[in-house]
Every structure is written in structure tokens, then in C-alpha cells.
Amino acid sequence: MRHSLPIAPQFYVTAPQPCPYLADRMERKLFTALQGDTAEKLNNALSKQGFRRSQNVLYRPSCADCAACLSARIRVADFAPSKSQKRVAKRNAYLSRSASSPWATESQYALFRDYLDSRHATGGMADMDLFEFAAMVEETPIRTRLIEYRDPSVHPEADDDPYEGLRAVSLTDVLDDGVSMVYSFFAPELMRNSLGTYLILDHINIARELGLPYVYLGYWVPGSDKMGYKAKFKGVEIYRDGRWEVLTHPDDYSADINPMSVDPIAEQVARINLPDSQG
């Protein structure tokens, strides 16, 4: 009988392109494929090392001249809402939450398109059509949930509501140590309700319900107004220099990173800890 040895994942680097967070900078990403029987273990292991999932790819920033992007997560046990966050939770308490398998719908896409057009009209996802949106939602080799937030006072078949009562959506991975918010969007007319903050608050509740210690938020970027809200949650940790550390004073972190502090790609890959089954 022949025995096949597990194959270690191969890592690649994208070509430079304009950074979506900091003006006049270029970004590159280090990435690997997420597939096969070991996808779950690989996703769990690399998420703890600052990687993020997009469909069947795991990636993290690997820019030649900058190391400003820092992976962020909330330690649930250390979180306590601020007064303003309590107001946000109360303001959005009328929304009903439901979770399902990742399956794209036209009402989700309608909400997604209006969200992009109002907030990210020039971003990399601006031209995403329905089929690409469906791929983003449905192409996942791991345990992923689609979490919808609806206004229960709106009938799903109401003619005057293109979202069918839908007000916010989060594509969320369930890891062995937390929940990871892969991508979230919401009705732009409810921006004043701070729905982005509310989704994070509710994911803290979800993590507690599941008995998981962390909520993974994606990247926090000092100097980027788009990412500033992530630093306002008590219990935030950031991944830097190969370890997680408590984010104490956000103003102490600078987006002006010395290029000499950015390690070569080969050294970055050599320091990645793979699960045992990956070789």
C-alpha cells in the first residue's frame, strides 16, 4: 500500500497595487490556497498568525516598504462596552439576527451594491457583479455562516423595500478559537445608527454564545480613517512581530513604518507555523 505524505502549502506574493487604506503607498499580499481535507486546520493555524480568508485563499499584507496593517481581534473576556457602544446596541436592538449556510440571494446583492456605491464606490470591489458576489459568499472550504439582520416590522415581500427587510449581513467564519468577520455590509441609509459597530458588538455576543474567546476583525491600520473604529473596542489585540499584544493607546502606533523593518518574503514564510498535518 502506498502512503502519500501531506504536502506543505505553497506561498506566493501578489504584484504591487495601490493601497486602499493609505494614500501614495503600494500593497502586496502573501497568500496560499485553502483547499482539501486540511483546509480547516490551515485556516485555524494561519488566522492566529494574522492571515485572513477570501474565498479559498488565505492572505496577509506583505508590503515592500510598509508594515502598517495589523491584524486585530477582540479578547471577549476583556471586552466591556463603552457608553456610546451601549447606545449603539440599544439603537439597533430591534433587528432580528438569523444564521444560515453561505448562500447568496438577490436581496443581499441589492444591499451589497447600495453599500458599495455609497461607501466604496472606487474600491476594488466596486465592479463586482451578482455572480462574483455569489462566489465571495459561497466559495468557502471551511465552516462559514451567513448572518443576516432584518427589520421584523418589514414584510419580506414588501414592494417598496428592495432588501426584503434585510438591513445588514456578515459573512462569518467559525474558527476553533473564535469567529472571524470576513466581510460585512449594511443599508447605507442606516449609517447614522452605527451598524458597523453594532455588528461587531453582536459578534462578541455570538462568540460568547459559542464559548469562543475571540472575535477576529480583519486589519487595523493606524492613520486610516476607514479602520479607526476597530481601535475603539476594549480588549482589542493586534498581531505584530509574530505575537499578539494588547492595543493600549492607538495614537502610539504610527503608519510611518521604516522599510528596513519589513522582513524579506522568504523569512516571513519561514516563520509561519503550520499545523502538524501540513508537514
- Answer whether residue 274 is part of any domain: no
Residue 1 clears pLDDT 50, i.e. is over it: no
- Answer whether residue 26 is part of any domain: no
Residue 169: CATH number of its domain: 3.40.630.30
- Answer whether residue 222 is part of any domain: yes
- Answer whether residue 174 is part of any domain: yes
- Answer whether residue 10 is part of any domain: no
Selection from 242, 240, 239 nearest residue 217 by Cα: 239
pLDDT grade, residue 56 (50/70/90)? very high
Q: What is d(CA 151, CA 95) in angstroms, rounded to the nearest whole number?
A: 5
- Answer whether residue 212 is part of any domain: yes
Count other C-beta atoms under 10 Å from residue 64's C-beta. 13
pLDDT grade, residue 36 (50/70/90)? confident
- Per residue in 74-117, pLDDT tens? 999 999 999 999 999 999 999 999 999 999 999 999 999 999 88
Report, as an integer, the average pLDDT of 38-47: 94
**Residue with C-alpha cell 505575537?**
243
**Cell numbers given for 41:** 486546520
- Answer whether residue 221 is part of any domain: yes
Residue 252 clears pLDDT 70, i.e. is over it: yes
Q: What's the domain count of the chain?
A: 1
- Answer whether residue 75 is part of any domain: yes
- Per residue in 105-159, pLDDT tens? 999 999 999 998 877 655 566 678 899 999 999 999 999 999 999 999 887 666 6
Q: Burial letters for 136-151: b for 16+ Cβ neighbours within 10 Å, e otherwise? A: bbeebbbebbbbbbbb
**Cell numbers given for 124:** 476594488
Domain that holds residue 153: 70-256
Residue 213 backbone zone (phi > 0: left; psi -120 to 50: alpha; other: beta): alpha
pLDDT grade, residue 236 (50/70/90)? very high
Selection from 26, 8, 10 nearest residue 18 by Cα: 26
